[in-house]
Amino acid sequence: MNAQRTILTDLRIWDGDTTLDADTLILNGPAIEAVCSGTALSPAEAGTARSLAGTTALPGLMDAHVHMVLDPNRSSPPAAGETGDPAAMRERAAMMVTAGITTARDLGGGGWLEIELRNAIARGEAPGPRLLCAGQPVTCLQGHCHFWGGEAADVSAAKAVIDRQIAHDVDLIKIMATGGRFTRGSKPLAPQFETRALRAMVDHARVHGLAVAAHCHGTPGIDAAVRAGVHSIEHCSWVGEEGWASDYQEAVVMRMLEQGTWVSPTINAGWRRMLKGATPTISRMRAALVNMRSHGVPLMASTDAGIPGVFHHQLPEALAVFAEVAAMSAEEVLRSATSEAARGLGLERHTGRLRPGFDADVLIVAGDPVTDLTVLTQPVAVWARGRCVREG
């Protein structure tokens, strides 16, 4: 676990965008020192280099939507005021980072335990991915995830919820723009706030330098959130009267492009069941994602880890499913979980690429993920900000 100068050679290197001619990666403390050819090593360096022939180095993976406080083995949502299990959260974080997930965005909890975990990981007291945390999501009275304590009856109350998150040192703000399936009595199609109220919340967060992620299933809520200027649309399910992905509207996509809106579609490994059944939902969602991408809407890989049956360490498995659902190439999906995710999360100057000076967030896998995404589930070694968390 101690930071040190580490030389890895005989690698295939995919840098977050493309496969390089280089075959050697030098890590020094928390940062990448060099990406080069092994022929450039001095005799002394070559003598200490670790040969990893047959493997590929790539940036550590990023999951743009998780809930560290939620237990995926549990089918029911938490009760109001119920706190999570810090020990279980640490275990989830350790499983994530050893699976190669070196960054994750936590989009909701009730007691700010995920912020305590974020800080412990940053101090080196616990293994885990770099966490960006939103704290309590803003929701309407008895709205989606109201049990986390972020209910707001009006704009004034919503601003108070946002201020409470700021006092707890969050990295961004989460707003529930529509209902969701996880909360009894909540309807995914129904908007929870009008556009004017959403815009007031976004503006209030922006004054404090915070971006806003908006949970959106129904198309009216997606449209309202985009008009309000949120940074990212979570799920983006295009729910209409005919069900999931039944109300795709290209006019809303055009507004996304105007606003620079990101989409985090939360496609997890469990979607494989729907792929096998070739359901109408899959066909409609694929058409929507293909069309959004054709227009240039940027996507971040995400899983909604923590909801029932969606485990925090399964992003590597989910990426192959994401590729199939969205008709994306392996390289496109890899970018959505590395360099593109870094841009979407505002971390593009620090991570998401294998470049000198960037954080040493590195995943080594057996084989070549550009030709076979399933090799992501076979990590050989992982470094998170220079700390070796998996080796051998």
Q: Which sequence spans correspond to the domains of the chain? A: 5-59+351-391, 61-344
- The answer to whether the CB of 363 falls within 8 A of the CB of 382 is yes
CA distance 67 to 366: 29
DSSP structural state of residue 77: P
Q: What is the DSSP string of 216-252?
A: EEEHHHHHHHHHHT-SEEEEEEEEBTTBTT----HHH
- In this structure, what are the phi and psi dihedrals at residue 271, rounded to the nearest 5 degrees? -65, -15
Question: ∠116-121-122 over CA atoms, to 5°?
Answer: 95
**Residues ≥6 apart with Cβ < 8 Å to 44:** none
What is the predicted pLDDT for the residue at 2? Answer: 41
Angstrom CA distances, 359 to 4, 106, 250, stand at 14, 20, 38
Examine domains 5-59+351-391 and 61-344 and report if their fold is the same. Answer: no
Measured in whole angstroms, the distance separating CA 373 from the mean position of its chain's CA atoms is 18
| pTM confidence score | 0.97
Question: Are the C-beta atoms of 349 and 69 separated by less than 8 Å?
Answer: no
In CATH, the architecture of 5-59+351-391 is Roll (2.30)
Whether domain 61-344 has CATH 3.30.750.24: the reply is: no
Tell me how far apart the alpha carbons of residues 242 and 155 are, in angstroms, rounded to a whole number: 31
- Amino acid in position 360: A
Instruction: Tell me the pLDDT of the chain (392 aa) as tens digits.
Output: 344 899 999 999 999 999 999 999 999 999 999 999 999 999 999 999 999 999 999 999 999 999 999 999 999 999 988 889 999 999 999 999 999 999 999 999 999 999 999 999 999 999 999 999 999 999 999 999 999 999 999 999 999 999 999 999 999 999 999 999 999 899 999 999 999 999 999 999 999 999 999 999 999 999 999 999 999 999 999 999 999 999 999 999 999 999 999 999 999 999 999 888 778 899 999 999 999 999 999 999 999 999 999 999 999 999 999 999 999 999 999 999 999 999 999 999 999 999 999 999 999 999 999 999 999 999 999 999 999 999 97
Task: Tell how far CA 340 is from the center of its chain.
Answer: 11
3-state secondary structure 313-328: CCHHHHHHHHHHHHCC
Residue 285 structure tokens: 């969602």
What was the pLDDT predicted at 392?
73
The torsion of the CA quartet 217, 316, 114, 91, rounded to 10 degrees, works out to: 140
Q: What is the pLDDT of residue 18?
A: 98
Phi, psi of 67, deg, nearest 5? -135, 100
Complete DSSP assignment for 106-166: E---SSSHHHHHHHHHHTTSS---EEEE--SPBB-TT-TTGGGS-B-SSHHHHHHHHHHHH
Nearest in space to 34 (alpha carbons), one of 46, 44, 42, 22 = 22
